[in-house]
Chain A
């Protein structure tokens, strides 16, 4: 009996994981297919990323960005951790004359 404890616990664990996986996939599929009027009306992305509010930023590396938030050299408004917000080509805001 003692020797069966580990295999039984392992079996239970695998079944538990499988059930959790299937249940999670099903609930996400249901969510995706059901109408979501609140999301439609709000139209905002998920909170912690979609805003520029410093309170919604993460500790860790971003703390540096917070501390410089509103001073010259901070540039936090352009920093959506790792990804630039504006990737569209901006034209005609720089001209150069003279030299080679």
Chain B
């Protein structure tokens, strides 16, 4: 029994070699669509995973002030109110923002060195130099990729224009190299007072307020209490995560729609090719049936052909997708997934190649092909051998 199936498999492989045009047409279409899908899927999974990692360390609640429906700087007087609420451990006003340095958009983050959870000198992933210290004002620590883009090294002086076009000089004291590539590529850290000065934010205001809560189960209660205060927008970690997943899901969804269209075209092409080849192979089918092959044997051969083509296309598609993302850093797709990335510096994209995504790609590459070929194969296989051979000769 096993030998019979092996013989049918061997015959199916021969058919793949014999009907070269059909094989090449189906493979080219299917490999292309699988490569596009896998590239976008790996990229989306990587970005979501990267976001999840960052959010693991994000504050439980971020509080922003709303003015006329728009986020604005928040009054630091809220810190006292929130600190008194049951369940909060720590309430920290933050200063951060964006700045165009050269022609790239960078994140400038103010660090409150006296109010940190750990000793940065020991644990910070410094590539070169040292971390910020309260004794050295007007100093900055840059991400490695930022330093490369700006062409600065430790000891250099960096002059950045503020929004009011005032040049401020900073001494580069260190360059960090984090696991989070995006931080390396777009972040400048400075003392919180320097950041306040850079963004011209008065003492009684902050960009937002980070709230840390004792127990994760209390987050919603605390958030609800904060929401009762006037003119505040309360963003919990879960909401950001949900927004992030939805955003990348929607963005990759656009590509998925295009991909489905391509896949349907491939299925139609496969159907068409099987019908054409089925006509050409009528004599062959008649001969096989005359030699004792049953209808189910012939259908099995055709299904094996489709499954083999599907596996080849899926495998090559995934390989090309990985190479496209890893080696070429996913041009075109990265623009779509990340946003207006021309404003961003270059950085290595986070890619997540999960077993479940690979399995999914194989499933959606093989199944449509099987469905597209089973009907023509069945029609082809149920013809009487005598009629088939006569029809084919005629």
Name A's B-contacting residues (CB within 8 A): 3, 6, 9-10, 13-14, 16-17, 20-21, 24-25, 28, 31-32, 34-53, 55-61, 77-78, 80-83, 85-91
- Chain B interface, number of residues (Cβ within 8 angstroms): 83
CB neighbours (8 Å) of A58 from chain B are 247, 251, 336-340
* Contact yes or no, A36 B124, CB < 8 A: no
CB <8 Å contact, A38 and B125: yes
Min C-beta distance of B97 to chain A, whole Å: 9
A60 with B109, Cβ < 8 A, contacts A21-B353, A83-B242 known: no
With both chains docked as a complex, state the minimum distance between the C-beta of A8 and any C-beta of chain B, in angstroms.
Answer: 12
Residues of B within 8 A of A13 (CB): 315-316, 318-319
Q: With A6-B312, A37-B125 as given contacts, are A53 and B338 in contact (CB-CB < 8 Å)?
A: no
Q: Which residues of B contact A89 (CB under 8 A)?
A: 224
Least distance between A90 CB and chain B CB atoms (Å): 6
Do residues B234 and A83 form an inter-chain contact, with CB atoms below 8 A? no
B240 CB-CB contact with A under 8 Å: yes
Residues of chain B within 8 A (CB-CB) of A42 are 54, 57, 109, 183, 187
Q: Is B330 in contact with chain A by the CB < 8 A criterion?
A: no
Instruction: Confirm or deny: B346 has a beta carbon within 8 angstroms of a beta carbon on chain A.
Output: no
Listed by A's residue number, 30 A-B pairs whose Cβ atoms lie within 8 Å are: A9-B316, A13-B316, A14-B315, A17-B353, A21-B353, A21-B355, A24-B351, A25-B355, A28-B49, A36-B179, A41-B109, A43-B210, A44-B54, A44-B109, A46-B47, A46-B54, A48-B247, A52-B71, A55-B340, A55-B343, A58-B247, A59-B336, A77-B69, A82-B246, A83-B243, A83-B246, A85-B235, A88-B220, A88-B223, A88-B236
**Which 6 pairs across A and B sit closest by C-beta, in order of nearness?**
A46-B51, A24-B353, A83-B243, A82-B246, A83-B246, A13-B315
Which B residues are in CB contact (< 8 Å) with A87? 239
- In angstroms, how far is the closest chain A Cβ from the Cβ of B203? 22
Total A-B pairs in contact (CB under 8 Å)?
A: 189
